[in-house]
Structure 1
Amino acid sequence: MNDILSSTGQETSNKAAFRRVLDASNTHDEELISTTVDEVFQPDVRMSTPLPIPETGARAIKEVYARLHRAFPDLHIAVEDLIEEGDRLVARHTVTGTHQGEYMGLPPTGRSVTYNEIFILRFADGRIAETWGVVDVLSQLKQLGVIQT
């Protein structure tokens, strides 16, 4: 077992780094989130997930969290899986929250949402250098009443 732990030391630190980001998000402390993003993401992190914001790099990550927390003040991200191979980390989450602020042009509905997302992260020099993500926006919009089923 010690051989396994010692051979995956970098993998463990990558998982820990990403968990720090999610833990910071779950505190809803903007300063802590900002500091953690600066420490864990490279400033010019490349994001391949389409975002409706002009910011890029780590600034975009901060803006995404800020917008989500304004829209869903009780937002919570629960880690379901963290799978690592080499410099890549795959994270599957369940996200919950209550829609109490504007979100994608939609005024607050007071409705609760639960949706899933999966991200693949590439680490370089101990920090997240690139991300790819899939967020179940269709499920969000159905639960918010924008799309009828």
Structure 2
Amino acid sequence: MLEVSNSGDMELIFRIFEECLQPDVLIRTELPVKTTGAQAFKDVFAMLYRAYPDLHVTVEDVIAEGDKVVARNTVTGTHQGEYMGIPPTGKSVTYKEIFIARFADGRIAEVWGVVDVLSQMRQLGAFPGGRGS
């Protein structure tokens, strides 16, 4: 799934989401979209790829126990499209995220995530303390 998400091919990414996620997957993290379930994943990825067309996720660690898998990731990209109200800056960003996925019947049924959005916003100049501020 990682190779697909790094491909930038939205049609392929959406198809893999449909195969790997239960349609009504429970997302236990606030998201900047109004949709739910698997559609919310599609909407978030579409938003990220519009903002960061060269988005790349590197998995740093994976831990599995029982029906859960935890992944700690580093995400990089160049801000080339609007992102959460911020017009394109051309700046490169690097941020961290951690996700926990619970599986049921061979598909992801529930997800918890922590994404360092503050770091993104600082690097884009929206808050003091980032690169170039």
TM-score scaled by length of structure 2: 0.95
Which residue is 2:36 aligned to? 56
The answer to whether structure 1 residue 110 and structure 2 residue 100 are counterparts is no
Shift of 1:23: 1.6
Cα deviation, 1:86-132, whole Å, max 9, x if unaligned, reads: 00000000000000000001000000000000001100000000000
- Whole-Å Cα distance in 1 between the matches of residues 3 and 106 of structure 2? 18
Letter in 2 for 1:37: F
The answer to whether structure 1 residue 140 and structure 2 residue 115 are counterparts is no
- Whole-Å Cα distance in 1 between the matches of residues 32 and 12 of structure 2? 24
SS class of match (2:49):
helix
From the CA coordinates, give the structure whose radius of gyration is larger.
Answer: 1
Structure 2: gaps of 5 or more residues:
none
Alpha-carbon RMSD across the aligned residues, in angstroms, is 0.6
Letter in 2 for 1:58: A
Contact 2:32 2:44 in 1 (8 A): no
Which residue is 2:49 aligned to? 69
Shift of 1:25: 1.3
Which residue is 2:108 aligned to? 128
Shift of 1:24: 1.2
Which residue is 1:5 aligned to? none
- Whole-Å Cα distance in 2 between the matches of residues 128 and 114 of structure 1? 26
Shift of 1:54: 1.2
The answer to whether structure 1 residue 90 and structure 2 residue 70 are counterparts is yes
Normalized per residue, the structure richer in helix is: 1
Q: Matched residues, percent identical?
A: 65
Normalized per residue, the structure richer in strand is: 2
Structure 1: gaps of 5 or more residues:
1-19
TM-score scaled by length of structure 1: 0.85
